[in-house]
Homo-oligomer: A and B are copies of this chain.
């Protein structure tokens, strides 16, 4: 008896609105979807009834009926990484323009998890964006068909029909090295990323001299990682290597190293040049501002959406894209110190 007049006891459905307006459910549906063939008077009545009951159609039921969820998913290896956050942001922004929403799945750097997540996320959505999975190529190739429509980011497509947006890591790393070479560096440390990482393998490969005899700086490879902490901890190894410049796997590592060097009072770039990769938003504002290679990750997210949108509409997506990152010379790189770097 004490039922409040506010908030109907349970969800308002299309049937309630139909009854209130004295029409059929079909008509309510037509009105809600703006189908033209409805009498103005009836349309008004339906809209009033809907407003009165505070009706809002169930997206789930609608999705089931029309066979689309208007949602896409993105699977990333680590939501804590600014790179993937940028991709997510770009995708989200672009998808929102078309009325689509984005579901996030974070594998937390767990490759097996990644496969399950991708499958599961795909089933909930109309399409999928897979960002640089640590996944083995064979596993990936087998998985992709059942994920379609899907777009691959930060990785080249191993399967036809799956658009991909890759980054030319090799070219990026070479542009950094070339700049350091130009500045006079002859012994360069490379702070390597995670072993399994596709991006790291590409960078390493680019550091091998194309012609063994070609004059080229000497490289010291230091196993490191992909996070701040990894770079921070690498200080001693870098300083002990005798290198005059440190090329870091990514900006996070570079910034971690920068912090450690600053604490120790090591001058950058006076004593050691430091370079990053990715050009995350912080890179410009580091002290000193970080020389790095700019990967337009937000745009990759937007491009991923464009491909997905094509696939969703049955169009052939634009051709695969390989982004060539641009060198951003800032204050953290400079000529090597005049003194020999190997002095203790």
From B54, B79, B124, A85 is in contact (CB under 8 Å) with B79
Q: For chain A residues 269-305, which have a beta carbon within 8 Å of chain B?
A: 281-282, 284-289
Q: For chain A residues 9-37, which have a beta carbon within 8 Å of chain B?
A: none
The 0/1 profile, CB within 8 Å of B marked 1, for residues 197-226 of chain A is: 000000000000000000000000000000
A135 within 8 A of B: no
- B256 touching A285, Cβ below 8 Å: yes
Nearest-CB distance from A1 to chain B (Å)? 22
From B108, B124, B255, B256, A59 is in contact (CB under 8 Å) with B124
CB closest residue in chain B, given A255: B285
Nearest-CB distance from A240 to chain B (Å)? 21
Contacts of A69 in B (CB 8 A): 60
- B101 touching A121, Cβ below 8 Å: yes
Nearest-CB distance from A179 to chain B (Å)? 20
A281 to B102, CA, bound (A): 25
Interface residues contributed by chain A, number (CB under 8 Å): 52
CB closest residue in chain B, given A287: B262
A40 to B275, CA, bound (A): 62
Nearest-CB distance from A144 to chain B (Å)? 12
Stretch at the interface among A42-50, A86-94, A169-177, A333-341: A86-94
Nearest-CB distance from A213 to chain B (Å)? 40
Q: Given A79-B89, A92-B79, do A285 and B104 touch, yes or no (CB 8 Å)?
A: no
Q: Given A287-B258, A287-B262, do A92 and B106 touch, yes or no (CB 8 Å)?
A: yes
Q: Given A80-B281, A259-B289, A285-B228, do A96 and B89 touch, yes or no (CB 8 Å)?
A: no
Nearest-CB distance from A272 to chain B (Å)? 13
Nearest-CB distance from A74 to chain B (Å)? 9
- B104 touching A104, Cβ below 8 Å: yes
Contacts of A102 in B (CB 8 A): 103-104
A182 within 8 A of B: no
CB closest residue in chain B, given A148: B7
Nearest-CB distance from A307 to chain B (Å)? 20
Nearest-CB distance from A332 to chain B (Å)? 10
Contacts of A255 in B (CB 8 A): 282, 285
Nearest-CB distance from A320 to chain B (Å)? 23
Sorted nearest first, the 7 A-B pairs with minimum C-beta distance are: A262-B287, A259-B285, A287-B287, A79-B89, A60-B63, A59-B124, A60-B64
